[in-house]
Amino acid sequence: MIQTVFIDVDGTLTSPRTGRLVPSAAQAIRLARRAGVKVFAATGRHTKIPAEGKVLEGVGLDGYLALNGQLCYLADGTVLREVPMDAEDCRRLMDLSREMGFSCAVVERGRMYLDTFHEQVRAYHERMDITPPEVLGFARTDPKRVLMMMAYLTEAEEAQVAPRLKNSVLVRLNELGCDVIPRDGGKAAGMLAVLGALGESPARAMALGDGENDKTMLKAAGVGVAMAHSSAAVRACADDIAPPVEEDGILRVFQKYHLI
């Protein structure tokens, strides 16, 4: 029986077409929690930053796997996992951004900021309907405190950058950008850490998602569910496929697995 659910935000709780939270998905979470199931948002977003977390306003949750599992905490703020990225890779990526001319966002526990603002930054944030971080530059960056970085890279630039990072991987979000996380990190690592803290088993967990950064989580959960619009690579990591979220996909999956 499923006791814990980890659910992606963009394209899973929200419409991939409008980027807005789908009411039936929020309803499914409320009903599942009322039935005693713990529900965590699992997202690349920095849910402690208002601009990034506002999409979840009004959705009652038991906790958050933010920054692709780099920062995991309960609804009361109790931190269960906080793992910085490799400091040398952080320095290397900052150097590469200057050399190659792409923008980067630095993400720490309590703040997120840009080094420079290029056109790709504007396009990405318009696509995601998220206010861009402020531009503060790298002068104040302490690489030992950086949990994640976001690189506004084309796929061609990614191919040049990825081999230069020794202990980190780039997870593509869309054609406009990638998250940079530890090679042994990601949503699966965050999910397993949270389950361990709760005394729960992965076999009794469900994960739902649609993106490249959801693949490890879908594989690690007892039941992995990919959204209907997911790529073939993501669907291949899942045990089941959900109907489109705009067609009450989350609600229907929760009903199918008797979570509500």
**Residue 19, pLDDT score:** 87
Same domain, 173 and 228: no
Residue 213 per-residue DSSP state: G
Boundary (domain end) residue, out of 134, 165, 182: 182
**Residue 148, pLDDT score:** 96
Q: Which domain holds residue 96?
A: 87-182
Same domain, 168 and 229: no
3-state secondary structure string, 47-112?
Answer: CCCHHHHHHHCCCCCCEEEEHHHCEEEECCCCEEEECCCCHHHHHHHHHHHHHHCCCEEEECCCCE
**Residue 129, pLDDT score:** 85
Confidence at 107, pLDDT banded by 50, 70, 90: very high
Same domain, 94 and 69: no
Question: Can you tell me the distance from the alpha carbon of 35 to that of 258, in angstroms, rounded to the nearest whole number?
Answer: 10
Q: Is the pLDDT of residue 127 over 90?
A: no
Same domain, 113 and 169: yes
**Residue 153, pLDDT score:** 94
Same domain, 204 and 127: no
Q: pLDDT tens digits for 171-209?
A: 998 889 999 999 999 999 999 999 999 999 999 999 999
Same domain, 138 and 205: no
Residue linked to tokens 């991939």? 16
Mean pLDDT, range 130-152, rounded to an integer = 94
CB 21 within 8 A of CB 56: yes
**Residue 90, pLDDT score:** 97
Q: pLDDT tens digits for 22-35?
A: 999 999 999 999 99
Same domain, 167 and 193: no
Boundary (domain end) residue, out of 145, 164, 182: 182
Q: Is the pLDDT of residue 128 over 90?
A: no
Sheet holding 168-174, edge to edge: 134-135, 112-114, 104-107, 148-151, 177-182, 168-174
Same domain, 94 and 25: no
CB 106 within 8 A of CB 113: yes
Mean pLDDT, range 129-141, rounded to an integer = 92
Dmax (CA) for the chain in angstroms is 53
How many C-beta neighbours within 10 Å does residue 142 have? 11
Same domain, 95 and 220: no
Long-range contact pairs involving 18-21 (C-beta distance under 8 Å, separation at least 24): 19/55, 19/128, 19/129, 20/55, 21/55, 21/56, 21/59
202: domain CATH number is: 3.40.50.1000
Boundary (domain end) residue, out of 142, 159, 182: 182
145: domain CATH number is: 3.30.1240.10
Q: pLDDT tens digits for 41-98?
A: 999 999 999 889 999 998 999 999 999 999 999 999 999 999 999 999 999 999 999 9
Number of domains in the chain: 2
Question: Can you tell me the distance from the alpha carbon of 163 to that of 169, in angstroms, rounded to the nearest whole number?
Answer: 9
